[in-house]
Structure 1
Amino acid sequence: MRIAIFGTGGAGGYFGAQLALAGEQVVFIARGDHLRALKATGLRLETPAGETIVRAVATDNPAEIGHVDAILVGVKAWQVTDAANAMRPLVGPDTVIVPLQNGVEAATELAAVFGSNTLGGLCGTLSLIAGPGHIRNVGGQNFIKFGELDNKSSDRVERLRQCLVGAKVPVEVPADIVKALWNKFLMVTSFGGVGAITRAPIGVTRAIPETRRLLEQCLQETLAVAKARNVPMADSAVTDTMKFYDTVPANGTTSLQRDIADGKMTELEYWNGAVVRLGREVDVPTPTHRFIYDCLLPLELRARGKIDFPG
């Protein structure tokens, strides 16, 4: 398949590398120093198993590429709308678009532009940009889940699934993609929010009773919002997610936490902020997420150049 990776960050870079190594025709859409490194020396993929150099086409101009079979969208959540406009040259009548963003709103935003070309999608990976052209994966579970937004089976979903299987990427087509999105949303907003305010990796936050309780409170709030929005979440979602946290490598952090620590713009509005906003719409209180959001908001506003800190 001819596959464009629109946004070659941690997730896009990692999964794009796996597809390229399997012989698929991968195009990396990137920019700046990252793009220059990809063009000059290829993508350097570092995993616990070792390092590999992946060579593939890289550009910042989708018009150079033309229509592709599939697009994996790896930009940050707040960039999805702008990315949709930029990726128009890549999208033909049969192109499928799979958003990999954390959160539960990206597919709706993409579908507003591309309609039925859009699938629901999510991923899991502990990967990050370690430097220009350098993607580091620290281990743990790496997977992609996707499917038609109406949950019907389709040939195009099966074709992409087989492609990912061939690249040895763990892949699943869930029976209910919206439920799967909310399960991931529940997991990552709690993990990321508590990690960001404590500045500690998951191995620490899950081990200290006080911060473990914060994780559980966040999960319970998000579950309540999901149920109020008629998402068919399992009653065991909190317990199941806590069990998952206990399997994550002890040094695990989320992109939200890393970006906050580095003074970068983050997906705060689409993580903890979204729990608060979506909860408000259905009259479900979310005090723990609200506390996390309020605590992190000054750092987010500074990163976006909207406020300055004295001194």
Structure 2
Amino acid sequence: MKVAVMGAGAVGCYFGALLAQAGHDVTLIGRPNHVAAINADGLLLETRNGKTFIPLRAATDPASLDPPDLVLFCVKSADTEAAGAALAPRLRPDTAILSLQNGVDNAQRLSAAIDHPVIAAVVYVGTEMAGPGHVRHHGRGELLIGASPRSEALAEELTDAKIPTAIAADIDQALWSKLLMNCAYNALSAVADIAYGPIFEVEGARDVVVSVITECAAVARASGVVIPNDMLETALALPASMPNQKSSTAQDLARGKPSEIDFLNGAVVRKGAALGIPTPTNQALQVMVKLAERSRGIGRYDAN
């Protein structure tokens, strides 16, 4: 397949690397410093088994793409519409697009912006960009994708590339379940700049996570989404299962980049307000991250 990765961050680089290793023709679209490093030496993939340079193409502008068979759409939620508009001229009618993004509505937003079908996906992987053109894998690496006429074939291709992929019986439930996990831990990890493992060592942190999950589940159920009965138990097990992983929000702040907090806890706050459901803990975490951004001059607070 000709594969375009729109948004060559940690998630896009990791899955793009595996597809390239499997023999697919992969082009990463990313920031200039990453693109320069990848085109010079290849993409450096670091796993528990060691480091490997993987030859593939990288570019800063999707206008340079050959029309792809598959797009992995991995940009930040705030950039969905703009990145989609830049990508749209390179699409064929039969190009498959997977939205590998945080949040619950990116696939719908992207599809509406470009008038092209988009398959929602939930990503379960621990990765980070360790430097220009250098992606580090911490654990897991599965995808859960929505049902569509293309999904079965895509799941087979991805699984063959060592990306275990299953088709979700209820993709909305899966998206909201992932959102609940992000809401519970992303802000805590970011504001403290710590991995998940030590979070519960601070008195009261567990209570905060319980409160976040309770609020999110109430909003989800009021929105018609079925949340698994063991969601709280699953959420509380995360620090032990991924003790060395920092949240994507923490990684954004560390790089001086705007976070997606408005599409995580902020999305729950907005939806809760529309439904008349109080979400004070989610609002507090959203505000804490926005304050952290302000103190660093990030995003809309950046004077440049």
Do the aligned partners of residues 224 and 245 (structure 1) sit closer, same or farther apart at CA in structure 2, a change above 3 Å counting?
Answer: farther
Aligned to 1:306: 301
Task: Report the alpha carbon displacement of residue 48 of structure 1 after superposing the two structures with TM.
Answer: 1.4
Task: Report the alpha carbon displacement of residue 65 of structure 1 after superposing the two structures with TM.
Answer: 2.1
Aligned to 2:79: 79
Asked if 1:210 corresponds to 2:209, the answer is no
Aligned to 1:161: 155
Distance in 1 (CA, whole Å) between partners of 2:254 and 2:272 is 27
Do the aligned partners of residues 199 and 131 (structure 1) sit closer, same or farther apart at CA in structure 2, a change above 3 Å counting?
Answer: closer
1:105-124 equivalences in 2 (<5 Å) = 105-124=105-124
CA contact (8 A) 1:263 1:299 kept: no
Task: Report the alpha carbon displacement of residue 66 of structure 1 after superposing the two structures with TM.
Answer: 2.8
The equivalent position to 2:165 in structure 1, one of 163, 167, 171, is 171
Aligned to 1:90: 90
Task: Report the alpha carbon displacement of residue 262 of structure 1 after superposing the two structures with TM.
Answer: 4.0
Asked if 1:289 corresponds to 2:282, the answer is yes
The equivalent position to 2:220 in structure 1, one of 214, 226, 246, is 226
Asked if 1:16 corresponds to 2:16, the answer is yes
CA contact (8 A) 1:194 1:214 kept: no
- Percent same amino acid at aligned positions? 34
Asked if 1:268 corresponds to 2:261, the answer is yes
Any idea what SS the aligned residue of 1:117 has?
coil
Stretches (4+) displaced over 4 A: none
The C-alpha deviation readout for 1:112-167, integer Å capped at 9, x for no partner, is 123452111121222111111111112x221111123xxxx52x111111111111
Aligned to 2:244: 251
Any idea what SS the aligned residue of 2:228 has?
coil
Distance in 1 (CA, whole Å) between partners of 2:113 and 2:256 is 32
Aligned to 1:29: 29
Any idea what SS the aligned residue of 1:126 has?
strand
Distance in 2 (CA, whole Å) between partners of 1:125 and 1:116 is 27
Distance in 1 (CA, whole Å) between partners of 2:69 and 2:126 is 26
Aligned to 2:55: 55
Q: Which amino acid aligns with 2:132?
A: P
CA contact (8 A) 1:144 1:172 kept: yes
TM-score for the superposition, normalised by structure 1: 0.92
CA contact (8 A) 2:196 2:238 kept: no
**Unaligned stretches of 5+ residues in structure 1:** none
Task: Report the alpha carbon displacement of residue 9 of structure 1 after superposing the two structures with TM.
Answer: 0.5
Task: Report the alpha carbon displacement of residue 305 of structure 1 after superposing the two structures with TM.
Answer: 4.7
Q: Which amino acid aligns with 1:121?
A: A
Any idea what SS the aligned residue of 1:297 has?
helix
CA contact (8 A) 1:19 1:26 kept: yes
Do the aligned partners of residues 23 and 231 (structure 1) sit closer, same or farther apart at CA in structure 2, a change above 3 Å counting?
Answer: same
Aligned to 1:278: 271
Distance in 2 (CA, whole Å) between partners of 1:224 and 1:92 is 40
Task: Report the alpha carbon displacement of residue 186 of structure 1 after superposing the two structures with TM.
Answer: 0.6
Q: Report the RMSD for the aligned CA atoms in angstroms.
A: 1.7
Q: Which amino acid aligns with 1:144?
A: L
Aligned to 1:143: 142
Any idea what SS the aligned residue of 1:120 has?
strand
Q: Which amino acid aligns with 2:175?
A: L
Query: How many corresponding residue pairs?
Result: 301
TM-score for the superposition, normalised by structure 2: 0.94
Distance in 1 (CA, whole Å) between partners of 2:239 and 2:274 is 29
The equivalent position to 1:188 in structure 2, one of 165, 179, 182, is 182
The C-alpha deviation readout for 1:202-255, integer Å capped at 9, x for no partner, is 11113444212211211111111100101111222112222344311x221111
CA contact (8 A) 2:128 2:251 kept: no
Do the aligned partners of residues 5 and 262 (structure 1) sit closer, same or farther apart at CA in structure 2, a change above 3 Å counting?
Answer: closer
CA contact (8 A) 1:94 1:117 kept: no
